[in-house]
Chain A
Amino acid sequence: MEDIAEYAMKLCRECDYAEVRVEKSTDEGFLLKNSVLDLASFDQAEGMAVRVLDKGSLSFVSTNRLEKDDVKKAVEKAIKIARASRKLIKEPIEFSEEKMFEDNILVKAKKSNESMSHEDKIAFLKRIDRAIINLPFKVPMRQLSFSASHEKKLFVNSEGANIKAEFPRTSFLWFITVAEKQKTKQKYLSYNLTKGLEALDEWKLDSTIVEQAKALHNNLVNGIKPPKEEIDLVLGPEVVGITVHESTGHPYEADRILGREAAQAGESFVTRDMLKTKIGAEIVNVSEDPTLEGSSGFYLYDDEGVKARKRQLIKNGNINEFLNNRQTAKTLGIKSNASARAVSFQREPIVRMANTFMEPGDWEKDEIIQETKKGIYIKNFMEWNIDDKRYNQKYVGAEAYLIKNGEICEPVVNPAIEVTTPAFYSAINAIAKDVELFAGTCGKGEPMQGIPVSMGGPTIRLSGLRVR
């Protein structure tokens, strides 16, 4: 890795700035569909990315052809197009000045992928599948997939950065369809940790999926339509997670605010002059923290070599901080807060979230339920979306219940919240302590980069909203 990185850096010596990422990964996966092992796979990939800044023009090149001639050809092509691009650049691109580091980050798996045989991995999937099949109702479609990977990367740049990182990753996805007569309900959930196979023990998949299937079936058989009047909403950590990801994390990405992702991922209702202005109730605090050990979005240095730290996006109900890379930081006249990430050597680093969550409050979850006279408890969701300025969002409950006089009662079918971002955060009047994080794959960029993140928070209550 070092040799090819050094060679590529030499090719860029005439550029104002250059960085090289060399990455190597292995991956193994199993997919069980309706009790049949559909496919087993193992993959390996190795390649490099070079990014140069030359007289205000930014160019990126990626190759998995690592022979010197191929690397030379790729880098020369990138520099040629960068220079030709100057014709259409009025404001030269610049990066903020940052302290650079030499470091070696090694995350060790407590249980390595090799510690579990293929047979045991397949048996693990089949055990979960059997537990679902043995339920006293039909779950006719079941998809369970497991994968374990190991990633190694080297980042160097012309300012002296030299960061080596090596880490395992374990992922799981389940998708079930519960049926009763002609009606069905569906739910999927993904899991992802920067850990070895010890993650499988933490997830308690058997019991989680079985409990979820039972809840969906109960909703299918006993569910009632949601009430139409304004009502209190109690949202579980999974719903809070998707909300803070979509309507805090994304609109606070400085590249959106400055228009760089306008074509596809969109812009933001947040403008640069909205910093320190009110966006929600005073009890609301939303943070972003890549440094959470073992988390899905874990890293200690971003893909521009900047040292990672926790970011406080909303502080006491006010917009407090945006997510920045070196380019947006320079434009805004501040320092980067290490938000540049690339999903692989095949993608340029852009501003991304890592682990986004609402900070805990001082309520107990049960206390919130008990002190709600009439409301809906939405534990988790299936359908969701948000407009591309991150202002109008929709979340539709999968498992949801009516709350009457402080007690959880009958299930509610598909309660749909459609609300603007300020209205959502302003309606929050109780925040519990039970923070949970959920894995996700966040899509952004063109070409698309689906990057591992996590999102979560505690149980919260909102007052006076209508659902459909």
Chain B
Amino acid sequence: MNPEEIARYILRQLSKKAEDVIVNIDNTDKTQIKFVNNEIAASQTWQDTSLHVFMNYRKRLISTSLEKMNPASANTLVTKMIKFAESSEPKSDYFGIANGPFKYSKLENYDTKIENLSDKSIDIVRAGINGALEEGAKRCAGVLEFSNSSTHLLTSKGVDAKDRQTEIYFSIRAFLEKDASGYSNLVSTKLTNFNAAKAGREAGEIAVLAKNPVKLKPGKYHLIIDPYPFASLLDYFGSASSIYSVESGWSFFANMLGKQVAAPSVTIYDDGTLADGLGTAKFDAEGVPSMKTAIINKGILKTYLHNTSTAKKYNTKTTASAGLLSPEPSNIVLAPGKLKQEKLYNGFTGLRVSNIWYTRFQNYLTGDFSTIPRDGIFLIKDGEIKQSVKDIRISDNMINLFKSIKGTTKEQKQSSGWEVETPVLCGSALLKGINITASVK
């Protein structure tokens, strides 16, 4: 039996007893080239085939995965799942999965050039490194990663659907000196126009500008945040909008539906249909066709993200965000702003933040948090860089920070990576009066 036959067999067997069954086969082939000090440090390849099963048996929810793709393992899994469910407890607030079948978009983010990239990838790495060095950086580190994946979803409610995707990701950090660095990040589902050299130049340019940084007096500062760090903050808006986060205390959006949670200029979507979106898919984890949902409209929180079960619990509609346990965003998209990138700094006095990392919360419900700017941080006066700075921390509140947005740029880029778990499409943001702290000794 091949994996598809095994998946169908498991679905048939479990459906005899269980009310809802979902079987999902995922195949991924991924390669990564890691470079350090302008040289390749390691190449890595992964090949993975996984078969996941979710079952509702008398409201007892069980999830598992198949160890080996053979009939004996499948039979063991079926028996064990039923036995496990019988000794478990019902989830009183569970209301089922979506009834299919559904019609899906033909849009496919798949590029065979990425699938066949293989050792030609070395040239892309070389172009990225050279880009940074041409700008004057002394050394750089990062990764090029590319993958092709496919998924086949089968449910007991009539879904039998396939999807596939390619991704390419280039992440580069360039250094002029130990305390002067710049970062750039590039992601796409297509190889066309994938310009690693440009990303390298961006990182190199920031590194050179960041030369000789000095400490900064703590206080309130206006900020311009570059797209990648702004994406990292928007990522927290995405995860906070999951109803699961709201129920369990991990969200600053609890009890905020219909309330102002950001500046009136801010509209944020979860968009599973985004062209070239890394999180774009034909369907969610229960087979509901992907959709675009306004989470925040003109600063007002409009909805949480739901799957079919949580939507029924709250008498609303699914946002095609299953996650069977926890609804999840697909691509976070900020509606383009009115500011033009080329005029963004005109007359601006404050700080430019080109990257952040290590965001942590004191209280997820209130949104009190801090995060650390890294790589180029620049004190700007009347639109000109006055000084490169270092060793600061943004210590503020997430809702306050988004209410402080005075504008965002029309030009946008997609970000994904270490600090951006859900892919985000956004531009730069201008914020007023954000609290900056630093070490006391």
Contacts and interface: CB of A to CB of B under 8 A. Distances in A.
Q: Do A and B come from one complex?
A: yes
Interface of A: 31, 33-34, 36-47, 57-65, 70, 73-74, 77-78, 80-85, 87-91, 93, 117-119, 122, 140-141, 143, 175-177, 184-186, 259-264, 266-267, 346, 348, 382-389, 391-394, 396, 414, 416, 418-420, 423, 427, 446-448, 465-466, 468
Contacts of B84: 40, 42, 118
B438 A392 contact: yes
B362 A88 contact: no
B393 A385 contact: yes
Contacts of B391: 387, 391-392
Contact of B142 (A77, A263, A468): A263
A462 B136 CA distance: 43
Interface of B: 31-37, 39-50, 60-68, 80, 84-85, 87-93, 118-119, 121-122, 125-126, 129, 139, 141-143, 171-173, 175, 178-179, 247-250, 325, 357-366, 368-372, 374, 391, 393, 395, 417-418, 437-441
Chain B contact residues, majority secondary structure? strand
Contact of B248 (A141, A348, A466): A141
12 contacts: A31-B325, A43-B64, A77-B31, A81-B43, A81-B119, A117-B87, A186-B365, A348-B44, A383-B361, A387-B391, A388-B374, A419-B440
B47 A70 contact: yes
Given A60-B43, A385-B359, A446 B418 contact: yes
Contacts of B126: 87-88
Contacts of B175: 262
A72 to B, nearest CB: 12
A11 B153 CA distance: 35
Counting from the closest, the 8 A-B pairs by CB-CB distance are A141-B249, A84-B119, A383-B362, A385-B358, A423-B441, A118-B87, A262-B141, A44-B67
Nearest to A424: B441
Given A59-B42, A177-B249, A40 B88 contact: yes
Contacts of B143: 263, 446
A446 B89 contact: no
B278 to A, nearest CB: 15
B363 A81 contact: no
Given A118-B84, A383-B368, A59 B43 contact: yes
Contacts of B85: 40
B59 to A, nearest CB: 10
A383 B360 CA distance: 6
Contacts of A70: 47
Contacts of B365: 177, 184, 186
Given A37-B88, A85-B33, A88-B35, A420 B43 contact: no
Nearest to A73: B47
A394 B361 CA distance: 12
A420 B366 CA distance: 28
A143 B48 contact: no
B405 to A, nearest CB: 23
Contacts of B44: 59-62, 78, 348
Nearest to A61: B45
A38 B61 contact: yes
A109 B89 CA distance: 27
Contacts of A80: 118-119
Contact of A34 (B34, B46, B248): B248
Contacts of B395: 394, 416, 468
Contacts of A394: 370, 393, 395, 437
A261 B126 CA distance: 19
Contacts of A393: 439
Contacts of A386: 358, 372
